[in-house]
Structure formats: structure tokens, C-alpha cells
Amino acid sequence: MRSIFITGGAGFIGSSAAEFFAKKKWDVYILDNLSRKGTRINLNRIKDKIKKFYLEDIKNYKKLNLILKKIKPDVIIHAAGQVAVTKSIVSPREDFNDNILGTLNLLEVIRNNKLKCKLIYTSTNKVYGNLNYLKLKKNKDRYFFKNLKKGVNEEFNLDFHSPYGCSKGAADQYVNDYSRIYNIDGYVLRQSCVYGTNQFGIEDQGWVSWFIIASIFKKKFKVYGDGKQVRDILYIDDLNNLYYKIALNKKKLTTNRIFNVGGGNKFSLSLLGLFKILKKEYGLKLKYSFRSERKGDQKIFISDNSKISKIFNWSPKVDPIKGTRILINWVIKNKKKVNSIL
């Protein structure tokens, strides 16, 4: 029986991955400190499907070491950490400890115990900064890259903006370098905007989910900037399928192990574009006001998935219309749970 260990396993991405691998008949172990809203709800959803839950923090090296020495998993998905730019600006030390120290602890446990496992690290597109040197054009609904056909690839310069960008970027580089120096089988996925069911979006993180939840509950929400900002959005099922392909891959990569992962050009969407879908397709009434754009925000980010697609034969399948429909139906069906988080 194959086994997988997931840090942040009660979060949105972690719990979805846990459920996915459990359905594939893997032994699933998760670790989470349950500090974020919604994690207890997610844990209750998956607790009967997983092998074991550890109420622990990745900042605790001794406990993490004891757990992984015992499990010796085939695959580790590292999804724990601080996830919001805004919170990192308010509490940069906490952001540093969660994202850098926590990741270093995990790498050191793998190295010191010579664990033969794959490590998948959930990084972010924020490591590229605000990309304000790129030439853009726009129409009434969205921004476009003027000269980029496929989007941002892995050759773009790193430019860490915000403490969050610094901490995720540093951890990103630690995983990549431990793979080179210590022969750890690590993979860095610089993920764009991931959305889907069981995501309790808030203003600071998970914008697709947050706008849908706010609309269904008829709450006023804020739009920072002009609303024409664009992201390529990736439905959670597509991301889980990628994790699975990496987990099953038997050939150890010898080249750079950093990948941009998102919806790509085909599944890119502006905030105003999402609003149009919600109004036209589902008749939702949106109550929002505009605010000044936030520091370090990217006017547009679209992942060039060419590298990950070539190596793992993967591409996203769930388009924004289908993905938002599934998410809306989930929110309506789980109003009581969602409202408890609000």
C-alpha cells in the first residue's frame, strides 16, 4: 500500500488532496495545527477516510521528525504555511516562521533520515513580483500581455514582493537546492489561483470562492484596483490530478524541478470577468465597491504551463464556467457550514 503525508492537510488544498489520494486507496496521513478557519470542518469531512491525523505544527522539528521516521511515506505534499499577502505585511515574523522555518524543518527531516520519498512543495506565482516591467494592454474588462503569447514561464526573474513573496520564494529555493545538493526528490509547483469546493474563501485569500460566497450571502465586498486584474484560475480537481501524476512518476528528474502551474491562457479570468459570469450564468447580484490597488499586486498573471505539460503530460480540463457552477452549487448546499466561517 502506498502512503502519502500531507502538511496543512486540513486546509483547502491539503484536505482535497487527502480525499483524492484516499479514493485511490493510498494510506493518507495528515498534519495540521488547525489554526485557520474552516480546518476543523475539513478535518471532519475527511477524518474517516484517512489513516491518521496529527494535531501538530511544522515549526516543531522534534515532533515532525518522530512522525516522519515512523511513517516513512512514499510522497509528501507540503501545503502548510501562511497564505495571505496582507497577513504577512501585518505579521512578517509569523509569516517567516510558518513558511521558511517550517519548510526547512521538513527538508531537514527528509535529509537527516535519508527518506526515499517525493516532496511536492506548493509555491506561488507571487515569487515573480508585480511584473510591472511587462508591457500591457487592456479593454473594458481585463488586462492582456502585449508581447507574451503563453504567459509567464519559469525563466522569468524572481522578484519577491511582500514578506509573503519573500518567505514562499525562499522556501521555494530551499526545496530546489536541497534537491540538487542532497539528492532529495523535490518538486516546486508555483501555483496560480486554485479554487473549488470546500474552499472557505476570505477577502485576503481565495478570491474566486470569496466573491461567490459574498454574492450568495448578499454581502458587500471590496475590489482592490480597477477589477481588470487577471489570473489564470485552476480548479482543484485538475491540481489533484497533477499531484497524482507526479506521485506515480517513476523517472527521477535530473533537470530543474521548478514548474509554473495554473489554468493557462485558456482559463484566465479578470475580476470583472468573473462578475459577468456570476451575473449572466447564475443571476447572482453583486454588491461591491472599489478601493486602491494593494501593494505588490500583479495586474496580470498567466502561467505558461508548457514545461509541466511536457514532462507530466498534464493540462487543466475544468473551465471557469463549469468550475464556478460546481462551486456555487456547493456553497448553496453547504450554506450552514459556510456561514459559520463568515
pLDDT tens digit sequence for 195-217:
999 999 887 789 999 999 999 99
pLDDT tens for residues 56-78?
A: 999 999 999 999 999 999 999 99
- Res 37: pLDDT: 87
121 is catalytic: no
Q: Which residues of 21-50 are buried (b: 16+ CB within 10 A; e: fewer)?
A: bbeeebbbbbbbbbebebbebbbebbeeeb
- Coil, strand or helix at 303: strand
Look up cell 527538508; give the residue: 107
Q: Is the pLDDT of residue 170 over 80?
A: yes
- Res 250: pLDDT: 86
% of the chain surpassing 70 pLDDT: 100
The alpha carbon torsion through 235, 236, 242, 247 (nearest 10 deg) reads 180
Say if residues 260 and 308 touch (Cβ distance below 8 Å): yes
Look up cell 504567459; give the residue: 151
pLDDT tens for residues 144-155?
A: 999 999 999 999
pLDDT tens for residues 101-135?
A: 999 999 999 999 999 999 999 999 999 999 999 99
Say if residues 9 and 79 touch (Cβ distance below 8 Å): yes
| Mean pLDDT of the region 38-63 | 97
Catalytic residue among 164, 178, 195, 235: 164
- Residues paired with residue 52 on neighbouring β-strands, in sequence order: 29
| Mean pLDDT of the region 86-102 | 95
- Residues paired with residue 289 on neighbouring β-strands, in sequence order: 222
Q: How far apart are CA 288 and CA 286, in angstroms?
A: 6
Q: How far apart are CA 191 and CA 233, in angstroms?
A: 10
Please name each of the domains of the chain with its CATH number.
3-341 (3.40.50.720)
User: In the chain, where do the E strands start and end?
Assistant: 3-7, 27-32, 52-55, 75-78, 118-124, 136-138, 143-145, 185-191, 193-195, 220-224, 230-235, 258-261, 268-270, 287-291, 300-301
* pTM exceeding the 0.75 threshold for the entire prediction: yes
pLDDT tens for residues 256-290?
A: 899 999 999 999 999 999 999 999 989 998 999 99
